[in-house]
Structure formats: C-alpha cells, structure tokens
Amino acid sequence: MLKSFLAHPLTKGKNIDDPSTTELRKTIIRNKDFLRQIYLDWYAEIKKNLPKIDGGIVELGSGGGFLSESLPELITSDVMPLKDLSLIFDARRPPFRNSSLKAIVMLNVLHHIPSVQKFFSSATAILKDGGRIIILEPWLTKTSRWVYKNLHHEPLDEKCIEWELPTTGPLSGANEALPWILFHRDRKKFEKLFPEFKIVSINQLMPFSYILSGGVALRSLFPGALYPFIRKIEGYFEKKFKSCGMFAFIILEKNV
C-alpha cells in the first residue's frame, strides 16, 4: 500500500519495458529538482574519474539521463529506441572497433544486462589499455535490502547462483543484487574470469538522499532547496560508516 501511495503519477501503472515510460522518466529526472541534483553529483563523479587517454566514451543505457549535456563528446546509447540517442544496440554486442574506447559509463544499467559475462568479454576487446568501466549501481547493505525489496519496482535475488538474468524485457529483466554479487560475494570469481580488469575502487554512497528524492518511480519527499543540506549530513554518514550506501560507485580499469 505504501509503495502504491508513493508511486509517481506520471509512470504509475505504466509498462516499464515500453520506451514511452523511459521518455516520461526523462521528464521526471529533469523536473524533480532534488533528483536532478543527485544526477548532477553522479555526473561530476564520472567526469572526475575518466581516464586521461585518447579514445571514445560511450554511455550504456542513457535512457532518461542527461550526461551528454555536460559531456558533449559522449556517445549515448540504449537497447530501446529512444529520442536523441547516438546509437541503439545490445550491450553484449557493442558495435565498436577493438581498442577504440577509453571509457564505458553506465548508471543503473549493469543489473539489467542478461549476460554480464558476455558484456565484460566484449568490453575487454573494445577498451584501450588503461581504459575504464565506470559504474553506478544499487548496493546491498542492511538498510538498502529493505528499501529495494519493499519500495522498489525491480526484482532482487541475492541468493541466485548464476549471473544470468531472465530476458523478460530490457528493464523488467533485472536483479538489483547483481552488482553486489559480482563485486562482493563473487569477487574472486570475477577476478579469475576477467583478469584484464583491475577493480580500482568500490565506494558506497547516498544512504538516504535517493530515497528522499523518490527516484524515478516515486514521489519526491523533499524540495530541491534542501538537497545541499541533506548531502552535507549524508557525507558525514558516508565517511563515518563505510558500509551504509544505497549505491556503489565502481571503477574497473583494463590492465596495461
């Protein structure tokens, strides 16, 4: 009942696999000032961590985001036909030459890719030496588990053995636990399968600001004017309690 009550009126009851729903979410992200500021902080972190080498930068699952506004050279993409994209393709079969990219950027996308092993194998080929995969994903902690299981619209299965996802749809086929599984529970397995990638860092962030924003699916609980104040408080929690974030900012680098 709580989830239904808080549902955003623009997307309530909409099919999440319909491209028109993602277009509506694009409007939501831009018009919810609190949420828009969260995205701006994420984008600033991405730009700060781009490798200082030549090459293209591609964003997977650009969806409703607006990273290209602050990174004009960005190649935007999605698996669905959406407005204002550079390319439409499946992340498992990227249309790029070998060693042509310096970075692959993805926000809340990895946990939707049906076969992450195929994705990382392809990424190994198309990234230059020293190139990076910059990832922002849901992360499991004691508090985030409850939120994702009870207030979020996507499935979560932290006990699944395989990394493969059901191919029900581009967004409905998901497992929010997948990033945590890959880089925490099964980290040794990942490092063995993909020795080409060094896990540079995994930083947990935003234990409560995204919840207060309502994200793209729920109503916002706080006005945008309070965001700087809330982030200041949240920053204290991020430093004091290293394992409290709703998200993880993950950086992988291809070994030279």
For 154-172, what is the mean pLDDT? 91
Task: Please give the CATH number for the structural domain made up of 2-254.
Answer: 3.40.50.150
Residue range 169-203, pLDDT digits in tens: 889 999 999 999 999 999 999 999 999 999 999 99
Statement: residue 4 has pLDDT above 80? no
Q: In what order do the strands lie in the sheet with 87-88?
A: 87-88, 75-78, 56-60, 101-107, 127-138, 247-254, 197-205
**How many helices and strands in the chain, by DSSP H and E?**
9, 7
**Which two tokens mark 93?**
């079969």
H or E segment and range at residue 148: helix 142-150
Q: Regarding predicted confidence, which is higher, 66 or 3?
A: 66
Q: Where are the domains of the chain?
A: 2-254
pLDDT in tens, 14-38: 899 999 999 999 999 999 999 999 9
Q: What is the pTM of this model?
A: 0.94
Nearest Cα to Cα of residue 223 among 212, 236, 211, 239: 212
How much of the chain exceeds pLDDT 90, in percent?
A: 79
Maximum mean pLDDT: which of 68-72, 143-147, 152-156: 68-72
| Sheet strands (E) in 96-196 | 101-107, 127-138
> Per-residue pLDDT for 6 more than 90?
no
Average pLDDT, the chain: 93
